[in-house]
Structure 1
Amino acid sequence: MKILIAGGAGFIGSTIASACLDSGIQPVILDNLVTGRREFSEGRPFYEGDICDGDLIDRIFAEHPDIHTAVDCAALIVVPDSVADPLGYYRENVSKGIQFVDHLVRNDCRNLLFSSSASIYRADPGDFSVDEDSTIEPLSPYARTKALFETILRDTAASGVLNVISLRYFNPIGADPHLRSGLQIRTPTHALGKLIDVHHAGEPFTITGTDYATGDGTGIRDYVHVWDLAAAHVKALTTFDEVTRTTPYRALNLGTGRGTTVRELVTAFESVTGTPLTTIETDRRPGDSAGAYARVGLAQELLGWKAERSLEDGIRDSLRWYARRDTVLGA
C-alpha cells in the first residue's frame, strides 16, 4: 500500500511515516516545512510545498498513481497563537484544507485520514471523560478550525465523493522509540515540553490555571504516546475500507482512557528524572480549557487498537529525544 502524508515532516506526521514503513506501507511525504523538518523526510519520497498547490498535488499523483489514502496532518496547532491570529489559523487549517480535498478528489483519491483534536469537546465536569458522541464545544480558534473542518468533511462524505476517518488526538507525548524523529520545536508550548526545558535549565515550572473543577484544580489531559498514535494510523489504513463500508464518515478518539492533571504530570516527571521541580502558579492562558480524557471503546472495536505505552514511557522517550535532537536536527 502507498499513502500520501500531508504534514509528513512534522512531529506526528513523520512518526506515522516511520510506523507505516515498519509495517510495509510506503509513505509519500508532502510538507511546506513551516514547522516540519527536511531531516524527517530522509529516505522517503518527499515533495516540498503547500497542500493548496493544485499543480503540485497533480504531480504527486501523476508520479504515484497507486496512492490509496491521504493522511492530513498539515495544520497549525498552538492555541495561544490561534487566539492572536485567528484569520491565519482559519486560512491554514480550513481554507487550505478545502483546497486539498478538492485536489485529492480531482485525482480520484477518495480516502482521507484526518488529524483532528480532542480540543473540540466540552467535557462532562463530573469526570472529564468524553466519547465520540460528547458535546462539541471548542473554546479556541484552533479548536474551532478542527471542529469546522470535521463538519466540512462529514458533509463531503455524505455527498458520496469521499470516505473519511477523523482521528481525534488527545495529547501526544514521547518520540519514535528508534529516535528517527521527535518534537522538533525548540520552544514548546505544551506542558511536557516546558517541563523538559525548565528541568534542564534549572528553572521553576509554571502551572497555568489552578481553579478548574478537577481533583486538584489543574487542567486534565490524556497523554498518549506518539508511537501509539502512529500505530492507530497503521490500523486505520489497513482497515479503512472495512471501517467506512457502512458509513462514509467515522470519528474516533485516540487516547489512553486515563486522565492526568498537570500536578500529576509534574509528579510523574519527577519520578522519572529523580529530580524535584519547583513550581509556580499563574492564571489560565487565553483559549485554555479544563481538558478531557478519552473513552476509547470505539477505536478498540473498529480498529482493534488501544494505547500500550504509559505516561512514564512517554516522558522517558521525550527525554531521550531531547538528548539526541540536536544531533538529528543540528544546533
Structure 2
Amino acid sequence: MKILVTGGAGYIGRTVVSVLLDSGYIPVILDSLIKGPREFTEDQVFYCGDIGDSKILSRIFTEHPDIVAVMHFAALIDIEESTRIPSKYYTENLLKSQILLNSALSSGIKCFLFSSTAAVYRSSSPKDGLREDSPLEPLSAYAASKLMFERIVADICHEKKGFGVALRYFNPIGADPLMRSGPYNSDPSHLLGKLTKLPAGGTFTIYGNDYSTRDGTPMRDFIHVWDLAEAHVAALHFAMNSKEAGFEVINIGSGIGVTVQEFVDSFLGISKTPIKIAIGERRPGDSAGAFANTLRAKSLLNWSPRFTLDQGISDSLSWEKIWLAKRQRSDGVD
C-alpha cells in the first residue's frame, strides 16, 4: 500500500518514511525542499512541490490511485518566528493544509494523519501529565495554526466520511537508530539542536528560571524520534481499521517530565562538551511546559515509547558526526 507523506524530506517525516518502508509500505514523498535535504528523498518516490499547489496534488493522486492515506508533516515550526510573522504561519500551516486535505478526501482517500503539537495546551503541570482533554491555550501563531487545523480535519472528515487523527507530540530528539536520517538544520531552534551546535567553551542560554517547576526552568517531554515515527504507523493501522468516519486526538510523548536544566545536565554528561550555562529572560510564546499522559495512545494504538532520554541524546550526537561528514563531502571538503 502507498502512503503520501508530505514533508517527507524533513526530520520527522523522513524518519516516518523509514518506519513505513520497514513495515512494508510504499511512501510517496511530497516536499518543497525549502528546508529538507534532497538526500532524504534518494531512492524514494518523490515529488518536489508545495502542499498548497492543487495541480501537483492532482498529479500525485492521479498517478498513484492506490494511495490509501496521507501523513501530513509539512509545516513551519519556529515558535519565536510565528510570534513576529503570524500571517506566514496561518498561510503555510492552515490555508495550504486545507487545500491538501480537500484534495485528498476528494480523491477518495479516507485516512488523514496530521502532525500536531503539544504547544496547543495551557501551561500546567498535572501530576499525571497532560491529557487530550486538558485545557487548551496556544500562545503562538504556530500553536494556534495547528489547533485550528485540527478542527478543520475533524469537521471535513465528518463531512466527507473520512477518518482523521491528530497526533499531538511533544519534543522529538534523536535520529533513526540505523542512521538513515536525523536533524539537519544548520541553525536549529530546538534545545538539543542548539546544544549540539555549540563549540567547546561556548555559552548556552536557558530562557527563564522562575517557572513553577522543580528547578525553575521549563519542563519538557522529550520523545525519541523513532518512537514517534512508530506511533504514526500505529495510528495509521488504527485509522485504516476504523469502520466509521471520525476523528481522534492522541498525545505522543515519553510520559516523563524533564526540566531544561536536567536535560542540559544529561547532555553534558554524555557529550563531555565543556560549555557555559547562562540564564536569560523568558521568550514570547514560551511556557512552563509539562509532559504527556500517554494512556490514550496505549489504549487506542497499543503503543508505548521504548527509548530513553540518554539514547535520544546519544543518537543525536552520533548522527551529527555522520551528517557533518556528509556535508563536508558534498561541499568538497576533505
| TM-score bin, normalised by smaller chain | over 0.9
Change (3 A) 1:2 1:218: same
Partner of 1:296: 294
SS of aligned partner of 2:70: strand
Indicate whether 1:274 and 2:272 are aligned: yes
SS of aligned partner of 1:239: helix
CA distance in 1, matches of 2:43, 2:239: 26
| Percent of aligned positions that are identical | 46
SS of aligned partner of 1:139: coil
Output the TM-score relative to the length of structure 2: 0.95
1:42-121 alignment, distance < 5 Å: 42-121=42-121
Q: Which of 306, 309, 312 lines up with 2:310 in the alignment?
A: 312
CA distance in 2, matches of 1:101, 1:235: 21
Cα offset, 1:211, TM superposition:
1.0
Partner of 1:177: 177
Partner of 1:327: 325
Partner of 1:255: 253
Unpaired runs of 5+ in structure 2? Answer: none
SS of aligned partner of 2:156: helix
Cα offset, 1:129, TM superposition:
2.0
Amino acid in structure 2 at the alignment position of 1:312: D
1:17-28 alignment, distance < 5 Å: 17-28=17-28
Output the TM-score relative to the length of structure 1: 0.96
1:124-135 alignment, distance < 5 Å: 124-127=124-127, 129-135=129-135
Indicate whether 1:234 and 2:233 are aligned: yes
The number of residue pairs the alignment matches comes to: 329
CA distance in 1, matches of 2:128, 2:271: 28
SS of aligned partner of 2:71: strand
Amino acid in structure 2 at the alignment position of 1:229: L
CA distance in 1, matches of 2:287, 2:25: 37
CA distance in 2, matches of 1:241, 1:162: 10
CA distance in 2, matches of 1:128, 1:140: 25
CA distance in 1, matches of 2:254, 2:126: 19
User: Which string of whole-angstrom CA distances, capped at 9 and with x for unpartnered residues, describes residues 76-134 of structure 1?
Assistant: 00001101110000000000011111111221112100000000011434548201111
Cα offset, 1:157, TM superposition:
2.2
CA distance in 2, matches of 1:316, 1:137: 33
Amino acid in structure 2 at the alignment position of 1:322: E
Unpaired runs of 5+ in structure 1? Answer: none
User: Which string of whole-angstrom CA distances, capped at 9 and with x for unpartnered residues, describes residues 44-81 of structure 1?
Assistant: 10000011111111111121110010000010000011
SS of aligned partner of 2:62: helix
CA distance in 2, matches of 1:213, 1:276: 29
User: Which string of whole-angstrom CA distances, capped at 9 and with x for unpartnered residues, describes residues 14-42 of structure 1?
Assistant: 00001110111110000011111111011
Does structure 1 retain, via aligned residues, the 8 Å contact 2:168–2:252? yes
Partner of 2:220: 221
CA distance in 2, matches of 1:125, 1:103: 39
